[in-house]
Amino acid sequence: MIEAVPGVKMLEKTWGSNVYFLDGEKPSMVDAGFPLDRKRIIRALGYDGPACIIATHYHLDHVGSIHALKSHFGSTVAAHAADAPVMEGTEPYERYKLGALRTVYYRMFAPFYPYEHVGVDVVLEDGDVLDVFGGLEVIHLPGHTDGSIALYQRDQGILFSGDTIRNEGGVLEGPPPQFSTGVDTAFNSIRDRLLGLEFEVILPGHGEPVTRNANARLKEMLRGRKRL
């Protein structure tokens, strides 16, 4: 585990997404990696499990461990209203179009990476403020999935972006088009909802944390992709 920024630890080299552990009276987690990551997460946390696990969206690489962690630690699970039904299994997982090759790939590997449905205890809407980490604001950013969210710690200027903003190889990027319900919608969400906020730090779903000038870098990225 490394300290991404004061008060936030990050589990590196997971099979799935970045996994963030947030300090506080009620320790919390943002995203939980693939099913294969659960043992490492439990080992890293010892007895001090999170009171609350927040999913930025329903994709397997972000929620794969949540069922196991919830059973182990008794944590509550929070996700946006549009993604919660997929996590709970009342709506199908693949609502976006996969290419033929990827479909074959998923069918082959699905038995090894089962999507374990999990009850969502706290159904989130845009504007909700979670009582963890000094107050985490929910910002609904549809486009990667219908219920993708960012979590914003206003006082500290920290944004947890899920897959709506990635930073793989140190390059800021929007969501991966092949896994998104609508990339244009996602970029509009970023432009309309995030650029006006003050933040220095982006803690993305994939890639390294951006610890300085994050808002300016985001603006630069949008300009570079002619989205501004």
166 contributes a contact to Zn ion by CB under 5 A: no
# chain residues binding Zn ion, by CB under 5 A: 5
Contact flag: residue 59 with Zn ion (CB under 5 A): yes
Residue 38 engages Zn ion in binding (rule: CB under 5 A)? no
By CB under 5 A, residue 14 contacts Zn ion: no
DSSP assignments along 117-133, one per residue: ----SEEE-TT-EESST
Write phi, then psi, for 127 (nearest 5 degrees): 95, -15
Residues 145-164 that bind Zn ion (CB under 5 A): 163
- Check: CB of residue 120 under 8 Å from CB of residue 88: yes
Nearest distance from C-beta of residue 219 to Zn ion, angstroms: 23
- Token couple for 209: 């944390």
- Residue 17 interacts with Zn ion (CB under 5 A): yes or no: yes
DSSP string, 49-83: --SEEE-SS--HHHHTTHHHHHHHH--EEEEETTT
Q: What is the dihedral of CA 18, 113, 81, 89, to 10 degrees?
A: -170
The minimum distance between CB 16 and Zn ion, in angstroms, equals 7
Taking the complex as a whole, the smallest distance from the CB of residue 103 to Zn ion amounts, in Å, to 17
Find the part of the chain contacting Zn ion (CB under 5 A) among 15-23, 42-50, 89-97, 113-121.
Answer: 15-23
| Selected binder of Zn ion within 31, 37, 61, 116 (CB under 5 A) | 61
Q: Give me the residue label for tokens 């946006």.
A: 80
Amino acid at 75: S
Chain residues in the site for Zn ion (CB under 5 A): 17, 59, 61, 163, 205
